[in-house]
Amino acid sequence: MARTVFCEYLKKEADGLDFQLYPGELGKRIFDSISKQAWGEWIKKQTMLVNEKKLNMMNPEHRKLLETEMVNFLFEGKDVIIDGYKPVE
């Protein structure tokens, strides 16, 4: 049986993640209250951020920026904004 959580991003019950994907307290918070669907949406945004801003995951400042954007996206309802990017309509 699938594990369900009340997803803070979707604001409804949904299938939870199978295991903790991010370390530490933030990882536990994500595991406890973010759904697979919401995590998938974040991964798309994360990929865009890394590519468009040319982030280097070896750089602690870049990792911190990505983590801040992740919290804003998943828990605070803020969309990821990339200067110059316009979605296809």
SS (H, E, C) 69-89: HHHHHHHCCCCCCCCCCCCCC
- In a 3-state reduction of DSSP, which class is residue 35? strand
Taking only the tens place, the pLDDT of each residue in 23-55 is 999 999 999 999 999 999 999 999 999 998 899
Residue 88 lies in a domain: no
Q: Is residue 28 part of a domain?
A: yes
The dihedrals phi and psi of 69, each to the nearest 5 degrees, come to: -60, -40
| Confidence (pTM) | 0.88
Instruction: Give how many domains the chain has, as a whole number.
Output: 1
Q: Is residue 13 within a helix (H) or strand (E), and if so which, with residue range? A: strand 12-15
Q: Which domain holds residue 69?
A: 4-8+24-76
What pLDDT, in 10s, does the model give residues 61-76? 999 999 999 999 999 9
